[in-house]
Structure 1
Amino acid sequence: MVTSAEMEARIVRYGDLRPCKTAFIDAHTPGSDQKENFTIIGGGVSESPDQHVHISIPHGFNIGAAGQPPKCRNSLHSHRTAEVFFVLKGRWRFFWGRWGDAGEVVLEEGDIFNIPTGTFRGFENIGNDYGMIMAILGGDDAGGGVIWAPQVIEDAADHGLVLSEEGKLYDSKQGQTLPEGVKPMPLLTDNELKTYPEPTTADVIPGYVARYWDMVALADRTPAKVIGPDAMLRDRPGFEVSLITRGSASDAMHSHDNPSVLMPVTGHWKVTWGGGSATLAPGDTMSVPEHLAHSTVPSMTGEAALYHIVGTGDPAGPTWQG
């Protein structure tokens, strides 16, 4: 039996999230220097030892978040495995390509974006208030870190930050320098840059973006399969994502062979298992152990939607099929 105390240790409340403001190489670059990064489940991809990990239990995927004030952007980078975002708060513009001009899409609250692997991407808060996007990263090691567009590394050096070839960040403003024998992260060569795809907006949106209200409509009786081999966004990134609403929630007890994660978008949700229960609110993240029988239903009236993520054991491989 799993006790309430044991399960509470697997819940990260929105109000308890601990941000890192020095997680990445663009932490001092104007326009990106106000962003906050959160590592909720797994090791994440932070380049800074200051990053706090809330839950370190391996799930086969990572859960993180980015919080940014209006007009703050995250610089162009790439990953070797999946990077999926859904908007919790605010209005966000995602852009991609070597210079960020190959394509773009604007996402509203609840929308989800399975960003094509191997593509340079960035994002910015274009709303009027502090915004938050939640992230799912493929693999337990999150793909081995971040690959930055060359101009990001060059801009960071002008503002005192240097990244080592091992992916560790050094801040000259704090008197830090690369240790003897350690080389800086090399810039991608022109030939290497040619291997990064430049999909257009028309290429990307149909197969990689799902709108919240479309998913809600599909989830009126059964959960909407959002990411998976037979889902709205067909993919095998190492996890599957579904959206559950009031109409498709069930109090039937069920379990999964791999760890799963519950992330409310709207409404309050009661999770019940053999040893107790807990209530989740938007922005909370709950890790459910494998093989634990549980149920998840709205606990109050009104709109209610929740993202459900479960590991599949598939390799967290490429998503771009251009």
Structure 2
Amino acid sequence: MTDLSDRIVRYGELKPCRTAFIDAHTPGSDQKENFTIIGGGVSESADQHVHISDQIGFNIGAAGQPPKCRNSLHSHRTAEVFFVLKGKWRFFWGRWGDAGEVTLEAGDIFNIPTGIFRGFENIGDDYGMIMAILGGDDAGGGVIWAPQVIEDAGAHGLVLGDNGRLYDTKKGETLPDGVVPMPVLSDAELAAFPEPTTSEVVPRYVARYYDMLALADKQPARVIGEHGMLIDKPGFDVDMIGRGSLPDAGYTTEKHEVLMGMTGHWKVNVEGFETVLAPGDTFAIPPNKARTITPAMTGEAALYRVSATDDAAGLTWVQ
């Protein structure tokens, strides 16, 4: 039996970084917690803890925020998928964040198109948590910030170097030799970022928890992928597993696979190694290992399953 305990990251053991991004000192965004669970992630801070550093074709992370805390407008070169683990969240997008918006609650998933400025805020009454899947091993080389975010950060002492690292001028930090501030996007570059409306984005990129759970009654609900509810090829597939989704005999796959607990508790056996996953737990299962996944108790139960594919890590918004 192989010991795979180091492939499991428990929700209660997640280590946050409160200085992960350029808006870490900006009022309204200065209480964010960023988590890098699998892969290098896109954090701009040397203080970011990485739980599992393996490159498996995609990254897993999370963001935790108290009520009224906001993540500033940014874009990615690869896919960014969120599902809500806890709380109520408003996602918004566009150059100024006013092109469209959608509210998501526990279990809902949003496959945000690449090449669009996006942000999100906790609009619930309690601390909220969203889990993230980022395409590619290097997640596209970092974050692209809206110009006003960089300007606001500078007013509060944080400068992002063109090496992708943050420097806190209020602590006396200066940019190293050969490093200059990250340039803001020009008007011509900004004009290339689409401004899709809510009605254009939501039907194609948002799936609701109970719709997915209903489809996962007898087999896995194909959520994101070539044949998914949200048809896309972002470099990984996402399924929702429900109580009756998988055969008792189990299965094997040649791809890297990550299980992410959503509701209920799940018993997972990988070639004799057995564990139970709770909501918020993450289990990275290596390829070519036989596994069984079954509910550990009665009641509502669902988990997300993310599988690596050979597709490019993200598609640009298409009208």
How does the TM-score come out when normalised to structure 1? 0.98
Q: Could you tell me which of 220, 239, 245 is aligned with 1:223?
A: 220
Aligned position for 2:182: 185
Alignment CA distance shift 1:207-1:298 (3 Å) = same
Structure 1 Cα separation of the partners of residues 83 and 271 of structure 2? 31
What is the letter of the counterpart of residue 114 of structure 1? N
Structure 2 Cα separation of the partners of residues 91 and 276 of structure 1? 35
**Deviations 1:153-188, CA, capped at 9 Å, x for gaps:** 000000000001111100012110112332100010
**Deviations 1:84-133, CA, capped at 9 Å, x for gaps:** 00000000000000000000000010000000100000000000000000
Aligned position for 2:197: 200
Q: Displacement, 1:319?
A: 4.3
Aligned position for 1:148: 145
CA contact (8 A) 1:235 1:319 kept: no
Structure 2 Cα separation of the partners of residues 273 and 39 of structure 1? 24
Aligned position for 2:16: 19
Structure 1 Cα separation of the partners of residues 133 and 270 of structure 2? 25
**Deviations 1:189-224, CA, capped at 9 Å, x for gaps:** 000000000000000001100000110111111110
Structure 2 Cα separation of the partners of residues 140 and 169 of structure 1? 21
Aligned position for 1:238: 235
Q: Displacement, 1:249?
A: 3.3
Structure 2 Cα separation of the partners of residues 52 and 289 of structure 1? 22
Residues 1:252 and 2:255 aligned together? no
Q: Could you tell me which of 305, 308, 313 is aligned with 2:310?
A: 313
SS of 1:76's equivalent in the other structure is strand
Structure 1 Cα separation of the partners of residues 23 and 234 of structure 2? 27
Aligned position for 2:170: 173
Q: How does 1:97-136 map onto structure 2 within 5 Å?
A: 97-136=94-133
Q: CA RMSD in A?
A: 0.8
**Unmatched tracts of structure 1, length 5 or more:** none
Structure 2 Cα separation of the partners of residues 172 and 252 of structure 1? 58
**Unmatched tracts of structure 2, length 5 or more:** none
Aligned position for 2:291: 294
Alignment CA distance shift 1:230-1:319 (3 Å) = farther
